[in-house]
Amino acid sequence: MTQQTTSEATEAKPVLDPATRLARAESIIHRNTLWALGAGVVPFPVADLLAIVAVQVKMLKEMSDIYDVPFKEDLVKKLVASLLSGLGGVSVGAILGGSLIKLIPVFGSVVGVVAVPVVAGAFTHATGRVFVMHFESGGTFLDFDPGKVRDHFKSEFEAGKDRASQLHQAEKSRAKS
């Protein structure tokens, strides 16, 4: 068994240049948006929502590693919930309704499998983009204020719906081939 020296054990990760860091962050957002699309297809109501939140927490953990920001899972879950509530009652109702509609045999499953993945992907995309902006400006989870980014988050969510819809269609086409 080899022993690490003190200097090896405390050696810091190399600092990434801004372009590399941003490219890695965008890659994390893209990959986790795909995971969220998959989580949205989970056929069990509420389980799909839990899976979507788990994807977002995982995404933010990956980003915290890139930006060297301390990660606290409980805090991150609260921030994700706060961003979701910031979308407004109609959007939150659509997400919950899309999940719960899966309880209706056949029809509910079809509607839920189409609607929930796109919303999950859009929400994940928007969450990632807002945190990249925050981390790029030197922020941490502790000083993140969902209220201050609400308008930007809504804008990213709208853009994310288009992006998630394109990705969802591409994945469905790929699955058919």
What is d(CA 131, CA 145) in angstroms, rounded to the nearest whole number?
11
> Which amino acid is it at 139?
G
pLDDT of residue 142: 96
pLDDT of residue 6: 45
Give the DSSP per-residue string, 53-118: HHHHHHHHHHHHHHHT----HHHHHHHHHHHHHTT-HHHHHHHHHHHHGGGSTTHHHHHHHHHHHH
What is d(CA 115, CA 161) in angstroms, rounded to the nearest whole number?
10
pLDDT of residue 104: 59
User: What is the pTM assigned to this prediction?
Assistant: 0.79
User: Is the distance from CB of 130 to CB of 83 less than 8 angstroms?
Assistant: yes
Question: Tens-digit pLDDT profile for the chain (177 aa)?
Answer: 445 544 444 455 667 888 999 999 999 999 999 999 888 877 777 788 889 899 999 999 999 999 999 999 999 999 998 888 877 654 555 566 666 566 556 555 555 556 678 888 999 999 999 999 999 999 999 999 999 999 999 899 889 888 888 877 777 677 777
- Joined together, the tokens standing for residue 161 give 């719906």
pLDDT of residue 130: 97
Unique residue bearing structure tokens 């804008």: 155
User: Is the distance from CB of 35 to CB of 168 less than 8 angstroms?
Assistant: no
